[in-house]
Amino acid sequence: LDALLKRRLNDEPLAYILGTEPFYGRDFIVDKRVLIPRPETEDLVDEALKIPAQLYVDIGTGSGAMAVTLAAESPRATVFASDVSAKALAVAKKNANKFAPKHVTFFRGALLHSSLIRSITKASKASICIVANLPYLPPTDKKIMPKSVTKYEPTNALFAKEDGMELNKKLLQQLWRSEIFNTGSTALLEFDPPQSKKLLAFAKSLFPGADLSIIRDRCGRERILKITIPQT
């Protein structure tokens, strides 16, 4: 107990000390290889579950919290999960085996990479929902964030260039260029609330004919960008 207390007094997050973090009613395995799932991301899962998707694609899956939850809550749907980090994928696979064995297919690569696109095309599902909780904090936030975050959680899962919008913008551009994101498809992207206007404007410039909206999280903050390509 003294050893555990010492770790906590040294700012180590309780989730890493216990080895789990609650998310959507399940205790997910977490350690220093992955970001600790936040409650706000449960709101993104809520929105995804409102969509009758046949294929969910979680880009930047991290611990696998979103992908595994979607697989457990929608067992008839196909779920793909991808991450650039092999270490993160090792944790995500443990969570999949724990809560949704054989229901999640994992890929390694950055954002919407070629292997993932080929698999989505091969799956040829009529209704696709893409979810993403990518790194979106501006690097300047490091100065004001608690040590429990900046000292222990993986920085490459927290921060991004262009005031935190770099990766979300890249993903939107990839979706715009890709043939997989077409009629009936939906994308849900989590972002930092101050980015709301700029990110929405950027999305509108790429998808002028789409249904776009900003969804607030449980605390009333603008948190999720929703893009739906309407049926023709």
Taking the C-alpha atoms of residue 155 and residue 153, their distance in angstroms, rounded to an integer, is 6
**DSSP secondary structure string for all residues of the chain:** -HHHHHHHHTT--HHHHHTEEEETTEEEE--TTSPPPPHHHHHHHHHHHTS--SEEEEES-TTSHHHHHHHHH-TTSEEEEEES-HHHHHHHHHHHHHHSTTSEEEEESSSS-HHHHHHHHHH--SSEEEEE----B-GGGGGTS-HHHHTTS-GGGTB-TTTTTHHHHHHHHHHHH-SSS-TT-EEEEE--GGGHHHHHHHHHHH-TTSEEEEEE-TTS-EEEEEEE----
The pair of three-digit structure tokens given for residue 165, joined into one six-digit string:
């919008």
Per-residue pLDDT of the chain (232 residues; tens, 9 = 90+): 899 899 898 889 999 999 999 999 999 999 999 999 999 999 999 999 999 899 999 999 999 999 999 999 998 999 999 999 999 999 999 999 999 988 899 999 999 999 999 999 988 666 899 999 999 999 999 889 988 898 999 989 999 999 999 999 999 999 999 888 888 899 999 999 999 999 999 999 999 989 999 999 999 999 999 999 987 6
- 39-49 and 65-73 helices, crossing angle to 10°: 40
The pair of three-digit structure tokens given for residue 19, joined into one six-digit string:
């080895």
The pair of three-digit structure tokens given for residue 199, joined into one six-digit string:
């990110």
Taking the C-alpha atoms of residue 14 and residue 228, their distance in angstroms, rounded to an integer, is 38
